[in-house]
Amino acid sequence: MEIFLHRICGKTAEPPVPMLLRRCTAEEAPAVYALQNEVRAAMPHPEQFVPDTLENITTYVRKDLCIGAWQGSRLGGYLIVRFCGQSEHNYAAFMDVPRTEWEHWANADSAIVHADFRGNGLQRLMLEAALPLFPGRITHIGATVSPENQYSLNNALASGFAIVSRREMYGGYDRYLLKKDL
């Protein structure tokens, strides 16, 4: 999906700059991992984003879905969606969804946008680009967001997610659990 950036480095981009939202390949997993680490290192509250290993990210890129926002060869953002099925990592497991239904749920796992490209609604646009690539069985998406992470929370609510509950996740982090029906 091609989009146009209207803001770059916090300034108006005139003319708007094209960016391609597309599925990342396994060879691009190190770029995803590097962007995660760069952006998290610059976060004033890094506890709002639980980082992942290169090994796990490589698995998600291969077996799940990772949408990258590419400006030429530069990765400016990504969204990882996981299809956890019967695994205990499925957010459906934390929402009292019967186990027989879990295969119909996807986890919106993580989203990152480099500060240079913020303000273009990329988090929401990457979800839009991801939806047509979901397996047909998926009818719901689960997500977690730190209550303090106003940018991510606003984007999730604007994308049609609703807050289900607030609880500890990932070994002690305060999180809203959200869901979206497709």
Where do contacts with ligand COA occur on this chain (CB under 6 A)? 7, 39, 43, 48-49, 110-113, 118-123, 149, 151-152, 155
Amino acid at position 155, single letter: N
Whether omega for the bond prior to residue 30 falls within 30 degrees of 0, making it cis, is no
The nearer residue to ligand COA, 8 or 29, going by C-beta atoms, is 8
Token pair of 122, please?
């990329």
Look-up of token digits 């291969």? 62
Nearer of residues 58 and 152 to ligand COA, judged by Cβ: 152
Rounded least distance, CB 122 to ligand COA, Å: 4
Q: Which is nearer to ligand COA, 86 or 147 (CB)?
A: 147
The nearest distance, CB 144 to ligand COA, in angstroms, is 8
Rounded least distance, CB 131 to ligand COA, Å = 16
Long-range interactions of 147-154: CB distance < 8 A, separation 24+: 147/174, 147/175, 147/176, 148/45, 148/48, 148/174, 149/45, 149/48, 149/49, 151/118, 151/123, 152/48, 152/111, 152/123
Residue nearest to ligand COA (CB): 119
* Least distance CB 182 / ligand COA (angstroms): 20
